[in-house]
Amino acid sequence: MFEYVPTEYARIFFIVCLVALAVIALICLIRAILGPRFTDRIMAINMIGTKTLLMVCVLAVLLEESYLVDVAIVYALLSFLAVVVLSKLVITRYRVKKERQQKDETEQLGRENPEKEETDND
């Protein structure tokens, strides 16, 4: 079977890739902290998960350890499930907020027009 043995230049390239991915993950972390909306934070967390997955795969090639690919697959599944759960949370939160606003609007309309209710009852 084909076995890859990285040369010195390939090792340097992989290390540079790892550093670049780490810097990008830190930028995404800043975005997750400062994001004005909850959806921005979810996207940043998803990107951090993807960058971590890429780093594990690069480490698998660099260290010549095949079990790290299995770890990367499990991490990808967990990251996907986390994004799905957080998206469900955002959707539920949005629906509750929208229902609450509609309820408040109907209550305000009822308070503004009490005379119409009295005339309708007569």
What are the tens digits of pLDDT across the range 68-116? 999 999 999 998 998 889 889 888 988 999 999 888 888 887 777 666 5
CA–CA dist 29, 44 (Å, integer): 7
Q: How many structural domains comprise the chain?
A: 1
**Is the residue at 51 inside a domain?**
yes
**120 near 69, Cβ under 8 Å?**
no
**Is the residue at 122 inside a domain?**
no
CA–CA dist 32, 47 (Å, integer): 10
**Is the residue at 49 inside a domain?**
yes
pLDDT score recorded for residue 26: 95
Q: What average pLDDT does range 61-66 have in this prediction?
A: 88
Mean predicted lDDT score pLDDT of the chain = 86
**Is the residue at 14 inside a domain?**
yes
- Give the rounded percent of residues in the chain with a pLDDT score beyond 90: 42
**Is the residue at 119 inside a domain?**
no
**122 pLDDT tier (thresholds 50, 70, 90):** low
Taking the model in full, what pTM does it have?
A: 0.71
CA–CA dist 20, 59 (Å, integer): 13
Domain that residue 86 falls in: 8-113
